[in-house]
A and B are shown apart, each in its own frame.
Chain A
Amino acid sequence: MKCLFSVLALLFVTLPFSGECADEVAAKFQAANQDYQNGKYADAAGKYSELTEAGKLSPELYYNLGASYYQSGETGNATLWMRRALVLDPAMPEAKQSLAFLRSHTGYLEFAESGFDRFVRQFPESFWKWLISIFIWAGLLSLAVGFFVERLKPNRSGLITLAILCGLASLVISRISSYRERNLSITNFATIVADASSAQTAPTPGSKSVIDLPPGSEVRILQKSGNWCYAEIPGEVRGWIRTDSLEPVWPLPSKNS
């Protein structure tokens, strides 16, 4: 009884605040939009950033932040936030179109996506897990009924064949799923945000350059070592990049880190 009372009290206290918070967030978003319309791009970017740091998730918010960064001359951050907008809304046409412009404008490097990659990426990770589980269970149930259900004993060979096919299918799909997780998962990618960045041959300041990385370039992190990241770069190139010159696309770094 005491516990129920505590929960009700908590709801009573927090509900009005949550409504007020929503209004506050909307007001801050509108204020940032106003700054952008007035040409105060840095102010707009600051206000949008406050919302993202507060944990607000919205493709429009991320897109607007990217546009503000672009207008402030930070093309690397602009590309990063456009990509983050696409994480929340993979079909967002504004972000896609603006990224096409940024690519032609800065010449940043981007991984080429094959038709197979596009096909695999269009289905979420859960879809592949569903498929794997369906095929595994179908195979196991086929075996079970083939061996233990007397009425289906005449169809045992057919059921065993079905079980083998289901096993093979689940094997293939699990390989596709692991390929997706390894190569296409957004958590593996980072964007170059620094203006004059390059990949080096070794994680030391004096090492030689492998390739220049224009802001907005996409890299795949393979290993982290102190202030350096070992990364795969579009064009089947690898090199060491300073950690402070890139930002992971997803998840957003926590405020403390």
Chain B
Amino acid sequence: MCFRIVTLLLLCLSPIQLIGQEKESSITAQVLSNKVAAGEIGVLMVKIRNGDASLPERIETEGLDILSTGQSVSMSVDALGGQIMDVTYSYRFRGEKPGTYTIPSLTATIRGKEYTTNPIEVTIVKLDPNDHASNATKQYFGKLQVSKTEAYVNEAVPFQMAAYVRGKNAIVKVIAPLTEIKHDNFVFQPFQRWDTSGEEVGNNYFSVSTIQSTLFALKPGEHEIGPAQIGVEAIASSSTFGGFGIFQRTANRELATNTVRMKIKPLPDGAPASFTGGVGDFEMNITPSTTQLNLGDPVSMEFEITGAGNFTTMSAPSFASLQKGIWKTYEPSKEVSEGDSANGSVEGKATFSQVIIPEKKTDSIPAFEFTFFNPTTGSYVTRTSDPIPISVNVDSGSGQSVAIPKPTSPQSSTDYPAESPSPEFNDVLYIRTTTPQWLSQVPSGAPGILFYVVQTILSIAFCTVVGFGVSRMVRKYQSEKPSRDAVLTFRQSLKNVPGAGSSKKEFFQAVATSLLLWKKEHPKAPGEVNEVIDRVSEKCESILYGGVEELESRISAMEAAEYHSILSKLPRR
């Protein structure tokens, strides 16, 4: 409603009205792309020039869903200096089923006059991730391209990944950690840099960031690479301050690419013995560390392999002919420095260093061979170096084989420890044809008869010791039994009552025991006597257990005599 008021205001204030001239009005309809993938959104724009009209919110069309997304107004000046006002109504449409559909003509009444648009044919196609044109309706997408879809194992193939984001300068940068391509059967060289440019896709302008590298396959067969992922920082929206980029908002986007099928062929048979896995086109340059040496001195050979190919998987060159007994060789080291692969080239260099030691007097370092497979010609190529003249000094025994002196210390700079041969198990050993060793029984883990004999002996020994010990204890017990079983009498107990000077505890315990025995021996004693005994017993107990008396203190002579007197007056049996 607000927009309509603004439009009417602009119409009222326009010079058209002021000068009273009525400009020709028109209405046109167009789509951004006539070909839209199923499920993707297409854009329909209806432009009304020099006027305005009411257009429906939804355009009913069979097979298409068309909805208004808003309108905009723009002013311009024509060649004659007159002002032109365009009101553009935008619609988005989407089709789910592939086929050709027609957006019907729209009729609008502008200043009492009817204007009609042309019908538009739109083709809804099946979504194909590899169809670049079908991406035109997307806001952003990724694209993967290889320079060739048929290659040999280990052949370096340049490839390119591109990120497309709709709009000019819409890509701020490529985010390396979010950008990756993986496949178990391929090795991908790392990405080094990206180039940003622009490209028109299906009438839409896209910002494009392109990254290039190389790949090589490890296994033959049909392989599908992708989808890869490209991470970009892209402009999400711009401010209303004229698009100067000051208040632009960015967002990280992860763009999935299409997939690419590659046919990887195995290397042909018939590779020469000096083939070390190189595939590409290479040159070889050899430099020895010295040409003047003594017998047994090491020479460091440097092999520089330059060209384009798989430097990471190739091995070092080898002698063109067998040098056993003449030259001793050691495992070479390798250093790879590949060139800038950003432009898709794979130029680089591999440097191998290998120590060789003369074991006999010789006048040259023999030729080295380096064989690689050239995928362009489809054949094996061998590079052969020239023999390098050297001078080998021999102290004695000229021309005789000498043993390589063993290093004196591990820190020595000329240490080259001899390699111990390691066994190789390449087949089962031949059968044993000697007379076999026939066994009467399987060696079992069960203990033999000796074990049980020893157990028996030890059992007997144990039982003997225990038996003797127990019998001795029984005998001792029995010998001590009479004395233990003997009954103490009152008379005997009197002998146990100590005299003056003994501890009270000992004294009163003895007195109490004597009284107890007396009572036991005289169950029918007269009542008066019993009373006296009870009283004396109670006194003894109160002294012993009352906690008043110092039990460890000595009993006086008088007190002891008193109790002895009582005890002695008691009748005895």
A residues near B, CB below 8 A? 25-26, 29, 33, 36, 56-61, 63-64, 66-68, 70-71, 78, 82, 87-89, 94, 97-98, 100-102, 104, 124-126, 129-130, 133, 137, 140-141, 144-145, 147-150, 185, 250-251
Check A144 against B465 for contact (C-beta < 8 Å).
Answer: yes
Kindly state the separation between the CA atoms of A61 and B437 in the bound complex, as whole angstroms: 9
- Specify which of B433, B436, B448, B461 is in contact with A58 (CB 8 Å cutoff): B436
B432 at the interface (CB under 8 A from A): yes
Asked whether B469 lies within 8 Å of A147 as measured between CB atoms, the reply is yes
Given A64-B432, A88-B442, A97-B425: 7 more A-B contacts, CB < 8 Å? A25-B438, A29-B436, A67-B428, A126-B451, A133-B455, A141-B462, A145-B465
Given contacts A67-B431, A94-B429, contact A148 B472 (CB under 8 A): yes
Please tell me if B470 contacts chain A, counting CB pairs below 8 Å.
yes
B451 near A101: Cβ-Cβ < 8 Å: no
For A133, give its contact among B436, B445, B451, B468 (CB under 8 Å).
B451
Interface size class, chain B: 35 or more
Q: How far is the CA of A141 from the CA of B463 in the complex (A)?
A: 9
- Inside 8 A of A97's CB, which chain B residues have their CB? 425, 429
Q: How far is the CA of A98 from the CA of B430 in the complex (A)?
A: 9
What 6 A-B pairs come out closest when comparing CB atoms? A148-B469, A125-B445, A101-B425, A60-B436, A98-B428, A58-B436
Question: Which B-chain residue is minimally distant from A25 (CB atoms)?
Answer: B438
In contact, A58 and B438 (Cβ under 8 angstroms): yes
- CA–CA, A101 to B423, complex, Å? 11
Closest chain A residue to B464 by CB distance?
A: A144
For B423-458 the 0/1 string (1 means CB < 8 A from A) is 001111111111111111111111110010011001
Q: Judge whether A148 and B468 touch: CB under 8 Å.
A: yes
Q: Which residues of B contact A87 (CB under 8 A)?
A: 442
Q: Which of B430, B439, B447, B468 contacts A129 (CB 8 A)?
A: B447
- A26-B435, A129-B447 are contacts. A137–B425 as well, Cβ < 8 Å? no
| B454 and A133 within 8 A (CB) | yes
CB of B431 within 8 A of CB of A59, answer no
Contact among B433, B444, B469, B470 with A33 in the assembled complex (CB-CB below 8 Å):
B433
Q: Assess whether A78 is in contact with B428, with CB atoms less than 8 Å apart.
A: yes
CB of B431 within 8 A of CB of A141, answer: no
B462 near A144: Cβ-Cβ < 8 Å: yes
Known: A100-B425, A126-B448, A148-B469. A57 touches B461 (CB 8 A): no
Q: Is the CB of B439 within 8 A of A137?
A: no
Q: Which of A61, A125, A148, A250 is the one whose CB lies under 8 Å from B436?
A: A61
Q: Which residues of B contact A (CB under 8 A)?
A: 425-448, 451, 454-455, 458, 461-462, 465-466, 468-470, 472-473
Choose among B425, B428, B473 the residue with the greatest number of A CB atoms under 10 Å from its CB: B428
In the assembled complex, which residues on chain B have CB atoms less than 8 Å from the CB atom of A125? Answer: 444-446
A94 and B445: CB pair below 8 A?
no
On whether the beta carbons of A130 and B434 are closer than 8 Å, the reply is no
- Provide the bound-state CA to CA distance between A25 and B444, in Å: 24
Per a CB cutoff under 8 Å, which of A58, A67, A124 touches B430? A67
Q: How far is the CB of B460 from chain A (nearest CB, A)?
A: 11
Interface centre among B430, B438, B462, B472, by most chain A C-beta atoms within 10 angstroms, is B438
B425 touches A104 (CB 8 A): yes
Indicate which residue in A57, A78, A144, A145 contacts B438 across the interface (CB closer than 8 Å).
A57
- B437's contact among A60, A71, A144, by CB below 8 Å, is which? A60
Residues in B with CB closer than 8 Å to A64 are 431-432
Q: How long is the Cα–Cα vector from A25 to B439 in the complex, in angstroms?
A: 13
- Report whether A88 and B468 are in contact in the complex, using a CB–CB cutoff of 8 Å: no
Q: Which residue of B lies closest to A65 (CB)?
A: B431
> How far, in angstroms, from A145 to B458 measured CA to CA in the complex?
13
A126-B447 in contact (CB<8A): yes
In the bound complex, how far is the Cα of B448 from the Cα of A150, in angstroms?
Answer: 36
- Checking A60, A104, A133 against B434 with a beta-carbon cut-off of 8 angstroms, the contacting residue is A60
Q: Shortest beta-carbon distance, A149 to chain B, in Å?
A: 7
A141 contacts B458, CB within 8 Å? yes
13 contacts between A and B (CB under 8 A): A56-B438, A61-B436, A63-B432, A67-B429, A88-B443, A126-B445, A126-B446, A126-B447, A133-B455, A141-B465, A145-B465, A147-B469, A148-B470
Query: Once bound together, how far apart are the Cα atoms of A70 and B431, in whole Å?
Result: 11
C-alpha spacing A60/B446, complex, angstroms: 24
- Closest residue of chain B to A252 (Cβ to Cβ) is B442
Provide the residues of chain B in CB contact with A26, threshold 8 Å: 435
Q: Which residues of A contact B442 (CB under 8 A)?
A: 57, 87-88, 250-251
Q: Write out the residue numbers on chain B whose beta carbons fall within 8 Å of the beta carbon of A126.
A: 445-448, 451
Partner of A70, one of B428, B443, B461: B428
Looking across the interface, which residue of chain B has its beta carbon closest to that of A144?
A: B465
Please indicate which of the listed interface residues A70, A100, A101, A102 has the most CB atoms of chain B within 10 Å of its own CB.
Answer: A101
The residues of A that contact B428 with a CB separation of less than 8 Å are 66-67, 70-71, 78, 82, 98, 101-102
Contact call A101/B431, Cβ cutoff below 8 A: no
Q: Which residues from A are CB-within-8-Å of B441?
A: 57
**Which residues on B sit within 8 Å (CB–CB) of A36?**
431
For residue B463, which residue of chain A has the nearest CB?
Answer: A144
Chain B positions within 8 Å of A82 at CB level: 428
Min CB–CB distance B222 → chain A (angstroms): 24
Which residue of the partner chain A has the closest CB to B446? A126
- Residues of A close to B436: CB separation below 8 A: 29, 58-61
CB B424 to nearest CB in A, in angstroms, measures 9
Q: Which residues of A contact B468 (CB under 8 A)?
A: 148
On chain A, the residues within 8 Å of B434 by CB distance are 60
How close is B513's CB to chain A, nearest CB, in angstroms?
34
